[in-house]
Amino acid sequence: MKTRKLGTQGLEVSSLGLGCMGLSFAMGPGVSKEEAIKVIHRAYELGVTFFDTAEIYGPFVNEEVVGEAIAPFRDKVVVATKFGFDFTNGKTSELNSRPAHIRQAVEGSLKRLKVDTIDLLYQHRIDPKVPIEDVAGTVKDLIAEGKVKYFGMSEAGVKNIRRAHAVQPVTALQSEYSMWWREPETKTFATLEELGIGFVPFSPLGKGFLTGKIDTTTQFTSNDFRNGVPRFQQDNLKVNMALIDLLNKIAVEKKSTPAQLALAWIHAQKPWIIPIPGTTKIHRLEENVGADTIEFTSDELGRIEKALAEIQVAGGRYPASSEKMVDRD
């Protein structure tokens, strides 16, 4: 698999990473630890060297699975995790990026991941109660202590990115981005390019929608968070199927699948973007990795852009309770 540089501080990883959240959290019931480890091992065999997790995924369970899975090849991969939430009775309670809590979270993540150093540490969400300079300064100290290598932010706006970057260089911003959520192009891309910060899109396949396997008859399990996502409500799905029709048409021309096309399109936007699609199925993993070989001519990209501009996406990408934690300033 090709590699890409993530930021300008020296971090280089595979052009596709693996988002590990769904292996144990949020997208339905997840899979057994044994099955999750098989997926991660197969990803490594296919050339994936970038694995994304967080303490909130579970909570905690996902980090433990990732830590056990990567143990045989720890020195050959990059592991990213995140801090930023309090937990009460095993459930997320509120944002918390106080310096003492960051240190507590990092110690927990190191133990669960079974590593001496966290390669890339993200602040999961901006905590309005804690100055971002205090957050970046704490991570800077952790880097000096050898417990962290690189600093990242998630769903952060440009003001906080700039303020944080002035204290400790930010290596990567992680935010949602795909053919059906393109806000980062106008909100953050120019700043990222200016500052030399890489971009890691989560949900690059639109939470599964851009695979073409979801339609108005799809029934999610009761513990699948997509049940509460407006874009997946039936009336909105009927409208949004126009995007799948477009993907299917172009995929035939490119002799690819819709998922491969959607991932390759992301690659074509900027050389410093590394998407992290997640899956619980090895055959889907192998399909996603196939996107690494797809390239577009400028004419093809122009035609896709024109077609996308004519499609109106219906429904919000998050329920209101989640959207309010996104920093857009």
Kindly indicate the confidence band of residue 28, based on its pLDDT and cuts at 50, 70 and 90: confident
Of 57, 122, 177, 318, the active-site residue reads 57
Q: Is the pLDDT of residue 25 over 90?
A: no
Q: Is the pLDDT of residue 92 over 80?
A: no
Read off the tokens for 290: 């196939």
3-state SS of the chain is: CCEEEECCCCEEEECCCEECHHHCCCECCCCCHHHHHHHHHHHHHCCCCEEECCCCCCCCHHHHHHHHHHHHHHHHCEEEEEECEEEECCEEEEECCCHHHHHHHHHHHHHHHCCCCEEEEEECCCCCCCCHHHHHHHHHHHHHCCCEEEEEEECCCHHHHHHHHHHCCEEEEEEECECCECHHHHHCHHHHHHHCCEEEEECCCHHHHHHCCCCCCCCCCCCEHHHHCHHHCHHHHHHHHHHHHHHHHHHHHHCCCHHHHHHHHHHHHCCCECCCCCCCCHHHHHHHHHHHHCCCCHHHHHHHHHHHHCCCCCCCCCCHHHHCCCCCC
Task: Report CA-CA distances (Å) from 60 to 56, 106, 321.
Answer: 6, 12, 22
Q: Could you read off the pLDDT of 49-87 as tens digits, one per residue?
A: 999 999 999 999 999 999 999 999 999 999 999 999 998
Q: Could you read off the pLDDT of 246-271 as tens digits, one per residue?
A: 999 999 999 999 999 999 999 999 99
Q: Please give the average per-residue pLDDT across 9-24, as a whole number.
A: 97
Q: Could you read off the pLDDT of 46-58 as tens digits, one per residue?
A: 999 999 999 999 9
Known active-site residue 150: no
Average pLDDT, the chain: 96
Matching CATH number, 3-205+266-294, of 1.10.3470.10, 3.40.640.10, 3.20.20.100, 3.30.2310.20: 3.20.20.100
Q: What is the CA radius of gyration of the chain?
A: 19
Q: Could you read off the pLDDT of 149-188 as tens digits, one per residue?
A: 999 999 999 999 999 999 999 999 999 999 999 999 999 9
